[in-house]
Amino acid sequence: MDKQLQPIVQKLKKEFGAEVTEFRGDVQVLLASEKLIAASLKLRDEFDFALLSTITAVDYWPEESPRFHIVYVFNSLSKNLQLMLRVPVAGENPTIPTLTEVYKNANWRERELWDMFGIKVDGHPDLRRLLMPDDWNGHPLRKDYPLGYEEPQFTFNYEEIDLSKPHGEV
């Protein structure tokens, strides 16, 4: 672990009961969702993590608890550090608190999170879909989302598929 990261991780462990793992130099801090805001405020104000570089999630379906890990990646540009916060959530329709109060750019990232994984973000100012069309059903990056495979059209089944296919007209 980077020498500069050690005191930060120690503090997160002590104050928020975080669990710390490291893999090939990437430090991951497992945290309960109630402590997310406080921890990120601390990271931003005390430890100079000025940039929230990404928010994403991991779906551990068919596990139910935790079903998802929400992953927040913070960067400190002044100290050249990177830290990953992971928030485990359970159940089919989980809710997490919004980070938009702390990092403005969390707005679109949380919209993407909602769009792709169906994770509700509590207190978000404008929680609409970001990537998929507005009338889309479901959340495509969930493990239990069907891939939407369509039967390819060949010579032998041309007629059959042609009947069920929509056709654009002038």
Q: At what angle do helices 36-45 and 5-16 cross, to 10 degrees?
A: 150
Candidates 22-30, 39-47, 112-120, 161-169; binding stretch for other proteins (CB under 8 A): 161-169
| DSSP codes, 89-155 | E-SSS-EEE--TTT-TTHHHHHHHHHHHH--EEET-S----SSS-TT--S-TTSTTS-----PPP-S
x-marked contacts with other proteins along 71-110 as a string, rule CB under 8 A: ----------------------------------------
Least distance to other proteins from the beta carbon of 150, Å? Answer: 5
Using the rule CB under 8 A, which residue among 3, 14, 128, 167 binds other proteins?
A: 167
Q: What residue ranges bind other proteins (CB under 8 A)?
A: 131-133, 140, 145-150, 152-153, 165-170
